[in-house]
Amino acid sequence: MAFFLETLIAGLFAGLMYGLVAIGFVLIYKASGVFNFAQGAMVFLAALVFVTLVERGVHFWVAFAATSALMVLVAIAIEALVLRPLRNRDPLTLFMATLGLSFVIDGATQFFLGTDVHMLDIGIEDIAQDYGGLFISQFDIIASLIVVALVAVLALVFSKTRMGISLRAVADDTLAAQSIGIRLPVIWRIVWSVAGIVALVAGLLWGARQGVQYSLSLVTLKALPVLIIGGFSSIPGAIVGGLIVGASEALADIYLGPLVNGSVSTWFAYILAVAFLLVRPAGLFGDRDIERV
């Protein structure tokens, strides 16, 4: 039983990371209707820039601020060079453009900063402690709290501030939002910036656990099943979807893996997502639009 719970908890932690990456997707999807494949590349870029700065002796918070600033610049550049020229194009074209974007970001990051794996210490000890018979790492607990705090802040910002309300207006009806004076380019820049900073947090937590390396970029591939399960337009949905994917992947690996002699974590999430689609096509937290003809 303890083993089951420990597996579950490890899975939930991985799921939290998926969820954190998926939040970046949700923000961008809501504001610009783009399925942003480059979100993983942004996680990798942010983590590698941050770790490089820290290794050169820059103070933690200075490095954090500098990397955040870089992510804002990246967001502004993406809006100007990719999104604006591709306005009103079909979703598949936009998706392909973000694929190209992920090539540019991944390639540039490794071109300038190298391809080595960097260890990242963010000052939280990753040692398992005994909690009434369960061994749980302090790192997992603190990381979870950070994610919860981040989600709470984002939820508050998007429900209470003027910017958040504008964003929801854009998500509901882009044309109507524009007609009442909401400026799309501004919204896009802000949302991509926020997504960049969320990517930084995800990169730090994930990188501290498994090292900062190119494979961070690939976490993006798990976002599609996470979003299908949680719903494409809901931030809590992204987290819950992430937790479901992470936990069931870990459990499937332990209990299903031996039956088929190998790890099933590369593909299990997709099967789960398709199964979810059959039961709840709109995801756990999504709305289903009524078709008009």
Partner 1 sequence: MTTLQDTLPDTGPAAPILSNAALLRLAVVAAGLVVAFGIVPAVATDYWLSSIIIPTVVMGLAGISLNLLQGYAGLVSLGSAAFMSVGVFSAYNLILRVPGLPLPAVLLLSGLIAAAVGVFFGLPALRFRGFYLGASTLGAQFFFPWLFTNYPWFSNDSQSLTISAPRLEFLGYDLQSPVGRYLFVATVTALLIGLAFLVVRSRLGREWMAIRDQETAASVLGIRVARRKLQAYAISSFFLGITGVLWGFAYLGTADAHTYNLDKSFQVLFIVLIGGTATIFGNFLGAAFIVLTPILLDHLVLAANIAYLSDQGAITNLQRVIFGAIIIFILIKEPDGLSAWIRRGAEALRARPKT
Partner 2 sequence: MASLLELSDVSLSFRGVTALNALSFAVARGEICALIGPNGAGKSSLLNVINGVYRADAGDIVFDGRRFEAIRPGKAARLGIGRTFQHNALFRRLTVRENVLAGLSRHGGASFIENVFRFGRDRQERRDFSARADRVIAFLGLDAARDRIVSTLSYGIQKRVDLARALVSEPKLLLLDEPMAGMNQDEKTEMSRIIAEVNRAFGTTIVLIEHDVGIVLGLAHHIVVLDYGRKVADGAPDAVRNDPDVIAAYLGTVH
Q: Which residues bind partner 1 (CB under 8 A)?
A: 35, 81-82, 85-86, 89, 91-93, 95-97, 99-104, 106-108, 110-111, 115, 221, 224-225, 228, 260-262, 264, 266-267, 270-271, 273-274, 277-278, 281, 291, 293
Q: Is 175 in the site for partner 2 (CB under 8 A)?
A: no
Shortest Cβ distance from residue 91 to partner 1 (Å)? 7
Residue number, 260 or 293, with CB nearest to partner 2:
293
Q: Are 18 and 226 in contact (CB under 8 A)?
A: yes
Scan residues 264-293 and list those touching partner 2 (CB under 8 A).
290-293
Shortest Cβ distance from residue 243 to partner 1 (Å)? 18
Residue number, 151 or 242, with CB nearest to partner 1:
242
Residue number, 192 or 285, with CB nearest to partner 2:
285
Residue number, 33 or 164, with CB nearest to partner 1:
33
Q: Are 39 and 105 in contact (CB under 8 A)?
A: no
Residue number, 139 or 232, with CB nearest to partner 1:
232
∠ CA(147), CA(153), CA(156), 5° rounding?
A: 140
Residue number, 91 or 185, with CB nearest to partner 1:
91
228 binding partner (options partner 1, partner 2, none; Cβ < 5 to 8 Å by kind):
partner 1
Q: Are 191 and 27 in contact (CB under 8 A)?
A: yes
| Pattern 231-270, partner 2, x by CB under 8 A | ----------------------------------------
290 binding partner (options partner 1, partner 2, none; Cβ < 5 to 8 Å by kind):
partner 2
Shortest Cβ distance from residue 244 to partner 1 (Å)? 14
Shortest Cβ distance from residue 88 to partner 2 (Å)? 16
Shortest Cβ distance from residue 290 to partner 2 (Å)? 6
Residues of the shown chain interacting with partner 2 in the complex, contacts defined by CB under 8 A: 290-293
